[in-house]
Amino acid sequence: MARLKVYSTGICPICDKTKSLLIKWGISYEEVRVDQDQDGLREFSQITNGARTVPQITIDDKWIGGFTELTELHMEDELDHLMQQD
């Protein structure tokens, strides 16, 4: 199972951009489509304290935020550090 999880919908261009960047960066991820998965939607709502926008991203079930936060972590070289931790 991937350590990074992307909560998304099928009609979200920023979700697609997020997934493309993760692939480009060589980071595996699990996608949870909250528009198709009721259990995933409940998990999404709980872990993000009721966020209403996608994408939302977690690493090891710790919520890091959305696309902006993900790219900031990458630009500050913190994303690689988070992904290397066990």
Domain 4-84 architecture = 3-Layer(aba) Sandwich (3.40)
Give per-residue pLDDT as tens, 37-61: 999 999 999 999 999 999 999 999 9
CA atoms of 7 and 76, how far apart (whole Å): 23
Phi, psi of 37 (to 5 degrees): -125, 105
pLDDT attached to residue 86: 58
pLDDT attached to residue 75: 95
- 3-class secondary-structure state, position 53: coil
DSSP state of 12: -
In SS3 terms, 59-86 reads as ECCEEEECHHHHHHHHHCCHHHHHHHCC
Please give the model's pTM, rounded to 2 decimal places: 0.93
